[in-house]
Amino acid sequence: MTKLLQSIWLATTILFCLLGGLSLWSTHNSSTMAHQEALERENQLRAELLKRSIAPLFEPMAQAVAQYPAVPSRRLESPAGQALLSAIDDNTPDESDISVALYDANGKILFSNHTYKIDKTLESPAFDQAIGGSASNHIDQFTTADTEGEQREQTWVVSYLPLPEEALPFAAISLERNHTQLLAALAQKNHRALMTEGLAFIAFYVALMLSLSVILRNFRRSEARHRNLEQKLQEHTFYDQVTGLPNRQNFIERLEYLFKSSAEGSLNGPFAVLLTDLDSFKVINESLGHQAGNQLLKSVGHRLNRCVGPNDLVARMGGDEYGLIIENIDDVTEAIQTAKNIHEQFQEPYMIQGHRVSESISIGVAISQGQNQTAEELIRDADIAMSRAKQNGRGHYELFNVEMHQEAVNRIELENSIRHGLERREFFNRYHPIIDVESGLTVSAEALVRWNHPERGELAPNHFIPLAEEIGLVKPLDQQVLDKALADLCVWKKHFPEHSGLTVNVNHSAQHFHGRPSLEVILNSLEAHSLRGRDLKLELTESSILKNDLVASALFGELRKMGVHLCMDDFGTGFSSLSYLHKLSFDMLKIDMSFVAEMLYSDEARKIVHSIIEMGNHLGLGVTAEGVETQEQLDILKSMGCRYAQGYLFSKPLLAEEIPDFIQKRIDAQSKTAENLA
Ligand code: C2E
Ligand code: MG
Ligand code: MG
């Protein structure tokens, strides 16, 4: 655009100069011509008047010419000559510098008020025209030298008039008037006018150019602003503002270009996409602040750039995720080598705001598979591999394979069906009775969720609970379980009004500790079924408590106030100790079934179970042994002082409606034993 404007400016300047010059020149020229024409016309008029005035003197003068054919001065001195001279003087009173001449038909001057001209012959087209019968004028310009020898330009206006036959031998008369000064004055005036016009033109041109330059400057400025804005927009669209690296959009476009080049055959080898995710960025960001987080993101970008070649690309995909495109790789090992290089780079801690920060990175690697693939699919594959790498622990890499894809697809399908299952209430509870080892009576029943899957039938929790926890759906699921469990407990209690201590155990996922909504939900649920806190026992796993220590202790305090009993599930499988049980005010613990199972074959397991029971009893916790399958196990547990037991020995998890029957059978069995003993 600027170039176009510059060209227009240049063209306008040239055009203006040409037009201006031409117009000034033509004005000047036409005014000079007009002046000359006016002078010629005026001179001709004066010549006419003079001719008429001196016409009566032609005849005496002709006689004088005839009388003195060879002596021009005598002609002038003759009375006729003198009379003619004074007549000429009389008719040209204001003129000092004039020349009047009478010619014969051949152009010879027979009379002139200037003696030196007499008898000279004139050869001029103007004169020829006069001889031809019509008046003619012309401007005569010549140079003369003055007395001091200086050259002077002279301009005379000459008019030739034809004379009638009766004037013979005179055939024509001329009147010459010196207009040097007048024309010089006129020329000067013209010159001044020309100068003024020129100056006005220049002033106009300068003003025009100034305005143009202002317009141009403003235009340039706005164009620069526009360019700047465009550049910024471009940077925003294609570059990450924190790290200055290409962004996700840029990354995708580059990948699309590679796929296109590959399809056109202009790319040789395959290419790889590496997706990376920082393992503890969130912690650093939260503990050291956002600025430190940004600094870390930048430094990570630098390190990643060190691991790739000049044609490769490192982009920030968002958050703490980076994407790398490695072009023209020979085989998979090259991409894996890059992943290893990245891990090597991450060995060294980062210095962030004076802190040594150790960061590890998980990497998913995917290799382009040819034309039937899209950029999006390759990124998705790398993402699946990265999730797998993350599952394997910190600082791992994984190469994508087809099974991973299938797993990911299955996972997505499962996610959707869990959602639908919740909406369609496909989940239901089974109950696993908890038996008082001494009396053999049922003290509680643990709600164990099942999924009545439309295609796969009844599914155990290990098929869906971990995923439900991951995608945040375990809360609504647990709520459904809790609600149903309390509703079922009400029914059982009605069956056994004398059995007021009957409770229900409900498993509680770790997710409930993010925020604190479960307290309200539990309270509402209890209220809705007119139950008290003590009718409910919540089972929590060690690992979930460990992760959420502080939140848990606050929540547990509230729950205890409500009378809800807390039960540590799967005790011994995590890292926690009995001190945790005490600190977090648990009421019960459940020994993990793996110890119970091993107890028969391993002395060590038996010792562990024994110590757990002893310490549990010492701390006043009700100890339950899970997974009791044989009478032998039960006998050992009993001898160790274990209070409650749960397992297939008594029953497999039952449907809600089967529980009253089970309770009744246990009561009957206990009565029978009592009778027998009596
Ligand atoms: P858990 O709470 O420790 O439940 C005990 C698991 O052991 C149950 O498996 C039960 O069926 C099984 N079991 C009990 N006695 C025996 C036995 O004698 N032999 C054998 N082989 N197994 C026995 P299930 O129902 O598959 O539940 C597995 C886990 O899923 C549960 O472990 C619990 O952590 C979780 N879970 C179950 N229901 C829920 C729920 O509603 N919400 C949450 N968040 N988790 C649940
Ligand atoms: Mg449990
Ligand atoms: Mg358990």
Quick check: 58 and 163 in contact, CB under 8 A? yes
Q: Best mutation site among 448, 462, 477, 644 for ligand 1, i.e. most ligand atoms within 8 A of its Cβ?
A: 448
Nearest atom in ligand 1 to the alpha carbon of residue 653 is: 11
Q: How far is the CA of 445 from the centre of ligand 2 (A)?
A: 10
Give the number of other CB atoms < 10 A from CB of residue 191: 12
State the chain's mean pLDDT as an integer: 87
Cβ–ligand 1 distance for 481 under 6 Å, the answer: yes
* Rounded Cα distance, 324 and 307, in Å: 10
Across residues 301-313, what is the average pLDDT? 94
Region of poorest pLDDT, from 233-237, 268-272, 333-337, 652-656: 233-237
Mean pLDDT (whole number) for 15-35? 75
Number of the ligand 1 atom closest to the C-alpha atom of 430: 25
CATH 3.20.20.450 fits 431-448+479-677, yes or no: yes
Secondary structure class of 655 (helix, strand, coil): strand
Q: Is 537 in the pocket of ligand 1 (CB under 6 A)?
A: no
Query: Does the pLDDT of residue 500 top 60, yes or no?
Result: yes
pLDDT score recorded for residue 528: 95
Question: Residue 238 and residue 249: Cα distance in Å, rounded?
Answer: 6
Contact by Cβ (8 Å): 638, 437: yes
Q: Ligand 1 centre from 617 Cα, in Å?
A: 24
Q: Does the Cβ of 434 fall within 6 Å of ligand 1?
A: no
Q: What is the mean pLDDT of residues 258-275?
A: 89
- According to the model, what pLDDT value does residue 574 have? 66
* pLDDT of 510: 72
Q: How far is the CA of 570 from the centre of ligand 1 (A)?
A: 10
Q: Which atom of ligand 1 is nearest to the CA of 649?
A: 18
Structure token pair of residue 672: 């029978």
**Which residue would you say has higher pLDDT here, 37 or 10?**
37
Q: Is 542 in the pocket of ligand 1 (CB under 6 A)?
A: no
Atom of ligand 1 nearest to the CA of 590: 3
The pick from 451, 480, 505, 507 for probing ligand 1's pocket by mutation, whose C-beta has the most ligand atoms within 8 angstroms, reads: 507
Give the CA count within 13 Å in the CB-facing half-sphere of 44.
16
Cβ partners under 8 Å of residue 221, min gap 6: none
Tell how far the Cα of 556 is from the centroid of ligand 1, in angstroms. Answer: 22
Is any ligand 1 atom within 6 A of the Cβ of residue 539? yes
| CB of 460 shorter than 6 A to ligand 1 | yes
- Cα(386) to ligand 1 centroid in Å equals 31
Please report where in the chains the tokens 């006998």 appear, as a residue: 635
Tokens representing 595 are: 């110890």
pLDDT given at position 218:
83
pLDDT of amino acid 543: 65
Closest residue CA from atom 30 of ligand 1: 461
CB-ligand 1 contact for 279 (6 Å cutoff): no
Interval between CA 539 and ligand 3 midpoint (Å): 8
Residue span(s) of the chain under CATH 3.20.20.450 come to: 431-448+479-677
pLDDT over 90 at 674, yes or no: no
- CB-CB neighbours of 225 under 10 Å: 10
- The pLDDT of residue 167 is 84
Lowest mean pLDDT among 51-65, 295-309, 513-527, 554-568: 513-527
Q: What is the mean pLDDT of residues 367-395?
A: 89
Cα(539) to centroid(ligand 2), Å: 6
**pTM score, two decimals?**
0.57
3 state DSSP class of 480: helix
What is the pLDDT at residue 575? Answer: 59
- Checking if the pLDDT of 208 tops 80, the result is no
The reported pLDDT for the residue numbered 578 is: 66
Residues of the chain with pLDDT > 70, as a percent, come to 94
Which residues have CB under 8 Å from 130's CB, separation 6+?
136, 160, 161, 162, 172, 174
- Residues with Cβ within 8 Å of 87's Cβ and at least 6 positions away in sequence, in order, are 53, 54, 57
Model pLDDT, residue 293: 93
Say if strands 397-399 and 622-625 run parallel, antiparallel, or are unpaired: unpaired
DSSP-based three-state secondary structure for 146 = coil
Query: What angle do helix axes 375-391 and 248-264 make, rounded to 10 degrees?
Result: 120
- Model pLDDT for residues 404-455, shown as the tens digit of each residue: 888 888 888 899 999 999 999 999 999 999 999 999 999 999 999 999 999 9
Q: How far apart are CA 564 and CA 186, in angstroms?
A: 123
Six token digits for residue 614 = 């002893």
Q: What is the pLDDT at residue 360? A: 92
Residue 362 identity: S
Q: What ligand has the least distance to the C-alpha of 480? A: 1
DSSP state for residue 349 in the 8-state scheme: P
653 lines ligand 1 (CB under 6 A): yes
> What's the confidence (pLDDT) of residue 576?
56
Out of 97-101, 435-439, 660-664, pick the least confident: 97-101
Query: What per-residue confidence (pLDDT) applies to 550?
Result: 61
Q: What is the pLDDT of residue 5?
A: 63
- For residue 629, which atom of ligand 1 is closest to its CA? 18
User: 411 CA distance to ligand 1 centroid (A)?
Assistant: 22
* CATH 3.30.450.20 intervals, the chain: 2-236
Q: Residue 647 CA: which ligand is closest?
A: 1
623 C-alpha to ligand 1 centroid (Å):
17
Per-residue pLDDT band at 628 (split at 50, 70, 90)? very high
Instruction: State residue 271's pLDDT score.
Output: 93
* Residue ID of nearest Cα to ligand 1 atom 20: 627
Contact 263, 369 (CB under 8 A): no
> Of residues 131 and 643, which shows the higher confidence score?
643
Q: 25 CB under 6 A from ligand 1?
A: no
Task: State how far the Cα of 62 lies from the Cα of 110, in Å rounded to an integer.
Answer: 9
CATH 3.30.70.270-classified regions of the chain: 248-400
Domain 248-400 of CATH type 1.10.580.10: no
- The phi and psi torsions of 161 (rounded to 5 degrees) equal -125, 140
Ligand with an atom nearest the CA of residue 464: 1
The CA 674 to ligand 3 mean position distance, Å, reads 31
- Ligand 1 atom 7 nearest Cα: 627
Q: Which ligand is nearest to the CA of 627?
A: 1
Return the CATH number of the domain spanning residue range 2-236. 3.30.450.20
User: Tokens for 368?
Assistant: 């382009």
Q: What are phi and psi of 532, to 5 degrees?
A: -100, 165
Residues 92 and 98: beta-carbon distance below 8 Å: yes
* pLDDT per residue as tens digits for the range 119-142: 888 888 888 888 888 899 888 888
Alpha-carbon span 394 to 170, nearest angstrom: 132
Residue 73 has pLDDT above 90, yes or no: no
